[in-house]
Amino acid sequence: MKEITITTRFSAYNAIDELPNDIQNLMEQAIAVRKNAYAPYSKFRVGTALLLDNGKIVLGSNQENAAYPSGLCAERVAIFQAGAIYPDAKIIKMAITAASDTNKTTSPIPPCGACRQSIAEYETKQDTPIEIYFMGELGDIYKSESLKNLLPFMFDKNFL
């Protein structure tokens, strides 16, 4: 037997105003679209803003459905919309924010497993890392240089 050690690195910002200006704008748009989430069951609202290499910003918020699991997370709403509208554009940066209707979220909320896999698909497809910034409603904001930090053993087309 051998032991494998995996190290990941994240940057942490204490507040939105510490972020670079372009990321502040992206996060503010994610916060604004978070309010459009349809979350009557979980009461957990998520907003995502993507910056594409063509300069366009694509937004998404989570959309729930009484017939679980028919809804979609904000990250996948934004990613799939970007893929449909701008199929040749690369996603270069992603801002994610989450808030609960029942309590304050003060820790950075990362993408769920299904969203990580979807982000991995696009990162692999475009062969370019996607910077990911994520936060709760308040508090620290974490930055990952690539999805690989969040999913070091990611499954992609190379396994097929």
What confidence tens digit (pLDDT) does each residue in 41-55 have? Answer: 999 999 999 999 999
DSSP state of 157: G
Query: Is 121 a residue of the active site?
Result: no
What confidence tens digit (pLDDT) does each residue in 100-149 have? Answer: 999 999 999 999 999 999 999 999 999 999 999 999 999 999 999 999 99
Question: In the prediction, which pLDDT does 158 show?
Answer: 82
What's the mean pLDDT when you consider all of the chain? 95
* 154 pLDDT tier (thresholds 50, 70, 90): confident
Q: Report how far apart, in Å, the C-alpha atoms of 149 and of each of 44, 102, 120 are.
A: 25, 30, 11
Catalytically annotated residue among 3, 18, 28, 75 = 75
CA distance 92 to 25: 14
Other CB atoms within a 10 A radius of the CB of residue 56 amount to 12
Residue 80 has pLDDT above 90, yes or no: yes
Residue 49 corresponds to which tokens in the numbers above? 């803003």
CA distance 126 to 119: 11
Q: Which fold has domain 11-151?
A: Cytidine Deaminase; domain 2 (3.40.140)
H or E element, residue 22: helix 21-34
Mean per-residue pLDDT, 65-92: 95
Extract the annotated binding site for substrate. Answer: 62-68
Extract the annotated binding site for Zn(2+). Answer: 73, 112, 115
Q: Do residues 38 and 8 lie in contact, with contact meaning Cβ atoms separated by under 8 Å?
A: no
